Structure 1
Amino acid sequence: FDTVFGPETNNSTVAGKVALPLVAPALRGVNGTIFAYGVTSSGKTHTMLGTDSDPGVVPRVVRELFSQIAAARASGAGTGTSPGPPRDYTVRLSIMEIYNEVLNDLLDPTRTNLKVREDSRSGLVLVDGLLEQVVTTAEQALDLIARGDHNRKVSATAFNEDSSRSHTITRIIVESTPLATGGGVGNDGALIDLAGSESARAVVSKGQRMEGSFINRSLLTLGTVIHKLAAGAAGHVPFRDSKLTRLLQPSLSGPGARVAVVCNITPAAAQSDETANTLKFAARAKLIQ
């Protein structure tokens, strides 16, 4: 692994090591994805969203993004790490969830069961009907993220009374255009808080069994995709087998894309098997070139 963080590590340290280095490349048009993987109650949502006193990866990335844009505008150049002619930046934000393999808009809950498709010209993976908001400040973006978190489907499980039962994807698109010439570049970034997977014996109700089935299938497909990409073998990679991997396809396989995987584990003895599986997933993900 690149880094192992102990239980005393705060979110500032995690974000500084894992997430913030992806911000400057994003302003140059490089796709970046950060996702948290692990069993329920292992701390994924704390890592990604955090608290008021210890903000997580998502709010820290948002603040760093707008800080670098402000610095670039003040200096009259590209960015502090990528000097060049003055540029104009447009930031668009959307938040969606995948719940039981149904994709819903978390900024506008009336937009449900959205369809995923690939643009034949650009090769981008698009979500039809998804609300994208142009944001001009970090505070505006964080207000939208708080709204999305409020709308996220949460239900009780055998492990955690407030366990999030859906994958949440915060998508940030940055368009950078030289003021003098036009013809800029665009970046597609995603910050993802994955649902936890419970084993079949641990769920209680029929509804929970259905949720667990969809979540396990989705994460199993992600694991299969990671395994095939890490092996580097030619052949079919099943990106289309789940909405999650379909949305992740450009980040996991696109040229130059950068991916940071945070695998959260719990010291609970009852979760030792799940902890071992999470560590195996992390080891495979590290092999992707």
Structure 2
Amino acid sequence: MSSSRVSNVAVHVRVRGFDEPDAQRNLVNYKVDPTMKNITWTTPRTSESRDETERLFNFDHVFDMGADQKELAQALVNPMVENAWEGFNSCCFAYGQTGSGKTYSIFGEAKGPRKGIAPRVMEEMFNVIKTRRGSEEVGLLVSFLEIYLGQVRDLGVYYLLEKQGAHTPSNAADYPKQNLQIRQDENGTVFVKDLKKIRITSVGEGLDVIKAGLRMRQTYETEHNNVSSRSHTVLTLTLVRTDNRTEDVLSGAINLVDLAGSERLTRVRDQQRMQETKSINSSLSSLGKVVMSLNAGDIRHIPYRDSKLTRILQNSLGGNSFCSLLATINPRVQSYEESLNTLQFANRCKNVLNKIHINVVGEDPVVLQKKLRRLQEEMNKLQEELALYKAAGGGDVASMMDL
């Protein structure tokens, strides 16, 4: 595999399905063609206008209402895990209005057919480690954060507290204040300072990290969703491979981003929810500006610093990462406008280019010291062999090399 690549953002659209029969009524007139790549979205008729306008969108894949979690995983999970094993970064972020199925798609349930992308990624990563590791040393690290009201909070820390038997808050209302800082290293990579990276050795441990974090995530009941996410979350799985012979280290990260859903301010009554909605909409607006700048090829100034969200996503959008957008839409007529906005955002993302390279952790001081010691040992051994060769009456080095 090449050590560097250029890749467009891959765009996948998922039309939310409904379990309740009544929810199947009053839907937008839309069509997904047999190739599962095109979706036609039709303007619903109203009392003011009887005309219908069809809008055709083309994407990498369109999952219709009948698509299950397994179908979604088959398109997204294996490529990300394969990239991580080869030392490349990947990102999948879910975008759409509240109640359109983002959190269900990313996390779903921990087990069974409703498992989301995150549990399936963990399962596949451990399968790959088991079958391919050979003599290599392979480790898997997990971090979990949320961005709430412009503050970055570590959700993974609650798993560590539970593991230590310490008292943990029962819900997000008792959440201790956190505001982790975002930094950038000398190579231009953006990271969150002091964010815990948890080493896991089984799928169960990884699921426990997710469970503890989601319990502390900020949620609230809205008009469209009984458990609406009021924060953006980023779950990062980092696979680290060490060659015991050469001491070379490859690192590949998978970032799974569940964005809070946009919502109209006119539908919000509570003051706290109003503040949350403004913060969510503002950060999503900043994300839209970043995508528009990247889409236009204006690399002189990409407004990553306009929000914590876009700053954290800087590595994934236009940076060193394969990137997939999962755009979720609600087919109900009352959500027509928000779903159309999501489709238009997804359409703009198609043209964003990322430049990806393999992450070789060769500059780590500890690794360099090990390599230096190994090279010194090899040089000493060669000098000893040369001395023995001369003592045995061998010729000079030049004549020896001519043989």
Q: Given the two structures, how large is their TM-score scaled by the length of structure 2?
A: 0.66
> Cα distance, 1:230 vs. partner?
1.8
Number of residues paired by the alignment?
276
Match of 1:218 in 2: 283
Match of 1:112 in 2: 178
> Cα distance, 1:111 vs. partner?
6.6
1:178-257 equivalence runs, <5 A: 178-255=243-320, 257=321
Question: Partners in 2 of 1:35 and 1:152 — Cα distance?
Answer: 17
1:16-165 equivalence runs, <5 A: 16-51=74-109, 52-53=111-112, 54-73=114-133, 76=134, 86-108=135-157, 110=176, 112-119=178-185, 121-165=186-230
Percent same amino acid at aligned positions? 37
Question: Partners in 2 of 1:122 and 1:174 — Cα distance?
Answer: 20
Question: Partners in 2 of 1:107 and 1:22 — Cα distance?
Answer: 22
Checking the alignment, whether the CA contact within 8 Å between 1:19 and 1:260 is kept in structure 2 is no
> Cα distance, 1:173 vs. partner?
1.6
Question: Partners in 1 of 2:299 and 2:180 — Cα distance?
Answer: 31
Letter in 1 for 2:82: A
Q: Moved runs in structure 1, 4+ residues, more than 6 A?
A: none
Structure with bigger gyration radius? 2
- Are residues 1:3 and 2:61 paired? yes
> Cα distance, 1:26 vs. partner?
0.8
Could you say what secondary structure the match of 1:245 adopts? Answer: helix
Checking the alignment, whether the CA contact within 8 Å between 2:96 and 2:329 is kept in structure 1 is yes
Could you say what secondary structure the match of 1:144 adopts? Answer: helix
Checking the alignment, whether the CA contact within 8 Å between 1:157 and 1:208 is kept in structure 2 is no
Question: Partners in 2 of 1:161 and 1:228 — Cα distance?
Answer: 35
> Cα distance, 1:100 vs. partner?
0.8
Match of 1:277 in 2: 341
Compare 106-115 and 10-19 and name the one that shifted more.
106-115
Could you say what secondary structure the match of 1:220 adopts? Answer: helix
**Unaligned residue ranges in structure 2 (runs of 5+):** 1-58, 159-175, 354-403
> Cα distance, 1:87 vs. partner?
2.2
Could you say what secondary structure the match of 2:266 adopts? Answer: coil
Could you say what secondary structure the match of 1:198 adopts? Answer: coil
1:267 aligns with one of 331, 334, 356? 331
Question: Partners in 2 of 1:213 and 1:27 — Cα distance?
Answer: 39
Question: Partners in 1 of 2:204 and 2:234 — Cα distance?
Answer: 19
> Cα distance, 1:215 vs. partner?
0.2
Compare 151-160 and 260-269 and name the one that shifted more.
151-160
Deviation by residue 1:207-257 (Cα, 9 ceiling, x = unmatched): 1111111000111111111111122233210111111111111122224x2
Letter in 1 for 2:325: V
> Cα distance, 1:15 vs. partner?
1.2
Letter in 2 for 1:70: K
Checking the alignment, whether the CA contact within 8 Å between 1:111 and 1:129 is kept in structure 2 is no
Letter in 1 for 2:130: A
> Cα distance, 1:263 vs. partner?
0.4
Letter in 2 for 1:103: V
> Cα distance, 1:19 vs. partner?
2.9
Letter in 1 for 2:179: N
**Unaligned residue ranges in structure 1 (runs of 5+):** 77-85
Q: Given the two structures, how large is their TM-score scaled by the length of structure 1?
A: 0.92
Deviation by residue 1:78-112 (Cα, 9 ceiling, x = unmatched): xxxxxxxx422121111110011111111225471
RMSD of aligned Cα (Å): 1.4
Checking the alignment, whether the CA contact within 8 Å between 1:43 and 1:264 is kept in structure 2 is yes
Could you say what secondary structure the match of 2:63 adopts? Answer: coil
Question: Partners in 1 of 2:132 and 2:306 — Cα distance?
Answer: 41
Question: Partners in 2 of 1:111 and 1:143 — Cα distance?
Answer: 22
